[in-house]
Amino acid sequence: MQILYSYISKENHRYLMNEVASSFSNDFQNKLFKYRRWQDTQLSLLGRVLLGEGLKKMNIPFDEDNVRYTNYNKPYFEGNEVKFNISHSGNIVVCAITKTYEVGIDVEMLQSINIEDFKNQMTKLEWLRVVSSYNLESSFFDYWTQKEAVIKAHGIGLSIPLDSFEIIGDKAIIDEEIFFLKEIQLDNKYKCYVAFKDGIDPLVLNLQMIDPITVLNKFLKD
């Protein structure tokens, strides 16, 4: 499994849009221009860049025309065994890619929230574990990020109520399907988890940070 991540940068934004975005299809560029905030535009663009970089590391050509979306808006490659998922929050974007199993990844920036607002999104046991934990905020974002990663791996997103399944240890079960979870250490200001439908040896998980400047240089050389 390839996991790549990067940080957005206002300083590089114009260069990214002029030199990198133009290498993608008109449809994707039009999607980028619909965002109102430069942060959202760059997060979406870097997500696609990370996908291309990850495929390159797996010696797989990136054919953007083969990107399709399910009825639940999950992207996939038509006629290709590669599975991938992209997530972003705050100033970070992350992409997980694998050939062997459905995968979901979620990253969330740690921030102050009213946790009571999310009580109905957890099972009674999960809620008890959160409110009785030493670090309430950290525990909440652990569960929230795990839940999001699992429903993304399952493939039908928020049509699955978050309180309809339970995180137990590093596993969750939905419709008799088992999903495994692993925490990904990206940044101490964020929580990130990857979920997958099969066991994984941690040694085959390759994590790499892609610097925006490096991304620019690679695209300009290709």
CATH of the domain at 166: 3.90.470.20
Q: Which domain holds residue 37?
A: 2-221
Distances (CA, A) of 90 to 8, 20, 118: 9, 21, 20
Q: Global pTM?
A: 0.90
The CA-CA-CA angle for residues 53, 71, 154, to 5°, reads: 65
Structural domain count of the chain = 1
Residue 216: partners with Cβ closer than 8 Å, 6 or more residues away? 12, 15, 16, 19, 20
Mean pLDDT of 50-77: 85
- Rounded-to-integer distance, Cα 25 and Cα 28, Å: 5
Among 111, 86, 107, smallest CA distance to 97 is for 86
Mean pLDDT of 181-199: 90
| Confidence class for position 58, pLDDT limits 50, 70, 90 | confident
Higher pLDDT, 176 or 7: 7
Mark out the alpha helices in the chain (DSSP H runs): 13-15, 26-33, 38-57, 124-131, 136-154, 212-221
At 93, list the tokens: 């974007």
| Confidence class for position 158, pLDDT limits 50, 70, 90 | low
